[in-house]
Structure 1
């Protein structure tokens, strides 16, 4: 055989192997995941599902009208269950909110009037899903009902009496929990009696009765996991504290689920991030991968920070989130697929992103933290950032320093959204998903967080809120009513100006963000949706003129 023929033969063999393995990879990605969020908020629903779709997976989601929303938190759980059962055979894996399936939504889980029997019957639908597709990997998440620490923190998303008695209820049940864990001193026993006298009996009985129903529904989910109908169950502790009714119930549920082990069950501080975390676990399993994650903290309290809305040090929540997402915590950056870095206040406090204290002037702690990020990026590490110096938005001083150091388009994941544990869990999931896409795909995920967490939540939100009363019509921060459209228009104008100011549309493949529009789908200013007209036009043209294969 001539040398030329040998070269040609080797080329053909290599090309054939490449095509064969390429087809395997494409076939591997040609998987379908069914996803039911716990409501229709953009970050719970659309943004999370799109993150997974952009990795190459088909994501089946229910018709939006079946999900709970702001005006109808009860949703349509019976119709939703039938939709899931009908579509279960089409999916390889499913990530499903039990709050949607049982109560209608996360908010409805705090306000429902279901009997224990009805709640458990609806939970039994997960056995029907398993029966419809026994090979389906079924990942389920549910909430352990929250305990807002003040009436104001409730935000009208709990029973109506919480607006008047919520602070007393939270303090009373905190003492109840402290009595169990550590005992009470004389002063605390006296306070407990005072709260018992101040809180109307019917209000406390209603609140505790609803929690008892939820507790039994969660125990039913644990039983279904023990039976094998549910592959993996995650329970999230919505707004929580060291001493609280939520924490007391978490301990009881953890004990009830003890026989399952961490490979089939986990509870964690937080809830809104868990849909994305479990979708990431699903993707990691489909990919046959276990990402290694190392974690670093800003100086000071760092890993031992107990952030707002949580009952545990952030290091514990992050460790659980890593495992929940299908990863493995490691101590060496050398072995890590993701180097996760957590921005915390030196003293461990958590502020509010729309406070005046959230300035663009970095302190020494922030400068040191960004230097840590810069070093790891320069070493070629995949870096993710959980930004929890403030709750409900980014640390402006961190973001401007990342911008000045030209690092915004160099990292792989970022979140500073909602509660601190929401932020770290979401950023961890994003960082793991970044393993399965290219730089343009990573930037696409990052852009939404920069627009939402940084530009909108930490800045534009308060600016627009301050101008609401000068707008025509009626509306407030919590219910924009007829001022929704002018508020959206002002937010859109301010956002587009900041996108240009910080060059976000110049990142590779991200020119479409320059015309981003802001919407308030829940007609309140806390949640924002981001519409990309350029991208929508491209998608529309693709649907009208499909490429023949």
Structure 2
């Protein structure tokens, strides 16, 4: 059995459990550390214990999928809070060199984020001072990048002067200094890739934008990759929490000698050219990156492949892209430049032809497009799709659904009956989990609970752990009610939810298990 050691970005289900669901479909062993070693949001992981675990476990493995943010800082949030020097980071990175020396045949697939710069003033996942100066720090990065490109207007200059005066010098120095260390780490991991220590590297842009610190760092890193002639081994594109799934799919393809062809079809004519919120490039370019990073290729048409990715694409971009809320409040282009009926008929058509159809639901941020999902439910198509995702950012969604499609398509088309049955059982549970979480929780239940339940419990979005037992009981009931109403008894049996929890003691994300009985 091929052994893959996996060091995740953090301890949340999207980073720890989703790749495990994919692995459970296969005959590959995904070996991750005990969750107790992985920290808790702002609390970093136990670096020393993790390094000991990784050093020992990787000695007998064929592959290593490693988050550099976890390896160095102890997780995604600690990567935004640490006080490490580059020299300390480089010393920790030497562990990869020792892993390769001890096990020369191991293939190392690594990823390290370009640190995000949120536009809102909140310290929930950032340094404490971000609550007061976050939006100004974002504007400072945006405007200084515009200035360096020679695109600053007179109005921009006035605003840049104002935000520069408003941000305390020690605050700006702390933020910029940490970014400088993280950027130097990215340069160093590119060097390790050139040296052959890292075999494949992804540098995802976490919640980035057209201008700012992140695009500037990205340009510098791409030049470095070009000079080293490493475009065949290094990719830089928007993403974060889905990369563990993407790299598992890639390793799976390497082990099986499987290069899936995926045809991509959109709900909106202009959708492929829209720049999704929190990203810096067109949707089509991001999809090309996700498919390539996962080891697939884009098919020219649907005739030559059994795999179809249906993308519910946004007909508006950046700040005009809709968030969860009333349908009537969406940008006007949602009423003219997206065609729900044609899109659903196309899904039905591909299913009739026996295609494996996955749905990437990225028209809305932070959850499913309930208009589309209700229509698919009415048409009886929900239990016929192969894969689905519609959570958080566009990149998170696309990486999740593409990796699922790649892994399960191998078993649906190329595996023996026993392996296919095992993979299909796990895949269906994972698929229904995505429906319940992305459509049920993120698009409906989360808002209802914040509005109607938390005030009655004396709790709020971020202050709820004191009522967690009662809240988990209520959420379990709501999730099961949603599953009964919207999914019902599917061909695999009755779908229910259990073991509900809130990983970061807030309402944003949820964890639970799905059980299918029938």
Alignment match, 1:278: 247
Secondary structure at 2:311 match in 1: strand
Distance 1:460 1:166 in 2: 29
Give the counterpart of 1:251 among 204, 209, 219.
219
* Residue number among 165, 177, 185 corresponding to 1:197 in the alignment: 165
CA distance in 2, matches of 1:31, 1:400: 41
Matched, 1:63 2:60: no
Q: Is the 2:389–2:397 Cα contact (8 Å) retained in structure 1?
A: yes
CA–CA separation in structure 1 for the residues paired with 2:234 and 2:488: 40
Within 2, Cα distance between the matches of 1:218 and 1:120?
11
Query: For 1:305, which of 267, 274, 277 is the aligned residue?
Result: 274
Q: Equivalent residue of 2:303, what SS?
A: helix
C-alpha separation in 1, matches of 2:465 and 2:42? 12
Shift of 1:515: 4.5
* Counterpart Cα distance in 1 of 2:266 and 2:352: 18
| Greater relative contact order structure (CA < 8 Å, 6+ sep) | 2
Extract unaligned runs of 5+ from structure 2. Answer: 412-419
Which residue does 1:386 correspond to in 2? 360
Does the C-alpha gap of structure 1 residues 358 and 88 become closer, same or farther in structure 2, counting only changes over 3 Å?
farther
1:480 aligns with 2:449: no
Q: What SS does the aligned partner of 2:171 have? A: helix
1:93 aligns with 2:63: yes
SS in structure 2 opposite 1:409? helix
Give 1:241's aligned residue. 209
Q: CA deviation at 1:516?
A: 3.0
Q: Aligned partners of 1:172, 1:48: CA distance in 2, in Å? A: 37
Give the equivalent residue in structure 1 for 2:380.
406
CA contact (8 A) 2:25 2:408 kept: no
1:213 aligns with 2:181: yes
Structure-2 residue corresponding to 1:495: 479
How many Å separate the matches in 2 of 1:156 and 1:522?
10
Distance 2:29 2:465 in 1: 36
- Tell me whether 1:320 sits opposite 2:300 in the alignment: no
Of 322, 326, 335 in structure 1, the residue corresponding to residue 304 of structure 2 is: 335
Match of 2:232 in 1: 263
TM-score, length basis structure 2: 0.92
Deviation at 1:505, TM superposition (A): 4.3
Q: Report the CA distance shift for 1:371/1:534 in structure 2 as closer, same or farther (over 3 A).
A: closer
Report the TM-score, using the length of structure 1 for normalisation: 0.87
Query: Are residues 1:521 and 2:495 paired?
Result: no
In 1, Cα distance between equivalents of 2:499 and 2:47: 32
Structure 2 counterparts to residues 83-162 of structure 1, below 5 A = 83-152=53-122, 156-162=124-130
Report Cα offsets for 1:229-274 as digits up to 9, x if no partner.
1110101100110011111111111111222433210011111111
1:346 corresponds to: 315
Write out aligned runs for 1:426-505 (5 A): 426-437=400-411, 438=420, 439-472=424-457, 474-505=458-489
Task: Name the residue aligned to 1:27.
Answer: none
CA distance in 2, matches of 1:338, 1:533: 27
Question: Contact 1:268/1:317 (CA < 8 Å) preserved in 2?
Answer: yes
Larger radius of gyration: 1
Preserved contact between residue 433 and residue 514 of structure 2 (Cα < 8 Å): no
Instruction: Give 1:43 deviation, angstroms.
Output: 1.5
Tell me the equivalent position of 2:138: 170
CA drift of 1:52 comes to 1.4
Deviation digits for residues 271-307 of structure 1 (CA, Å, limit 9, x no counterpart): 1111100110000100101111221222242101111
Whole-Å Cα distance in 2 between the matches of residues 236 and 115 of structure 1? 22
Find the partner of 2:394 among 420, 424, 430: 420
How many Å separate the matches in 2 of 1:428 and 1:209? Answer: 36
Q: Secondary structure at the match of 1:45?
A: helix
SS at match of 2:126: coil
Q: Deviation at 1:449?
A: 0.5
Q: 2:23 aligns with which of 25, 47, 52?
A: 52
Provide, for residues 134-190 of structure 1, a one-character-per-residue CA deviation record: whole Å limited to 9, x for no partner. 1111100111000112214xx511111111111111111101111223421222122
Once the 2 structures are TM-superposed, how far is the Cα of residue 357 of structure 1 from its aligned partner?
3.0
Q: How much does 1:405 deviate?
A: 1.6
**1:14-73: CA deviation from partner (whole Å, max 9, x where unpaired):** xxxxxxxxxxxxxxxx3221111111101110232122122222111111111132252x
Matched, 1:35 2:20: no
Q: For structure 1, which runs of at least 5 residues remain unmatched after alignment?
A: 1-29, 536-549
CA contact under 8 A between 1:464 and 1:487: conserved in structure 2? no
SS of 2:295 mapped into structure 1: coil
Match of 1:184 among 141, 152, 166: 152
Distance 2:100 2:482 in 1: 48
CA distance in 2, matches of 1:75, 1:123: 16
Q: Distance in 1 between matches of 2:70 and 2:488?
A: 36
Q: 198, 205, 216: which one pairs with 1:230?
A: 198
**Shift, 1:379, TM fit:** 1.8
In the TM superposition, residue 506 of structure 1 has moved relative to its aligned partner by: 2.5
In structure 1, what is the Cα distance between the partners aligned to 2:280 and 2:156? 20
Q: Deviations over 1:429-485 (max 9, x none)?
A: 11111213344343222111011101111111111111344444x532123121222
For the aligned residue pairs, the C-alpha RMSD in angstroms reads: 2.0
C-alpha contact 2:38 2:45 (8 A) present in aligned 1: yes
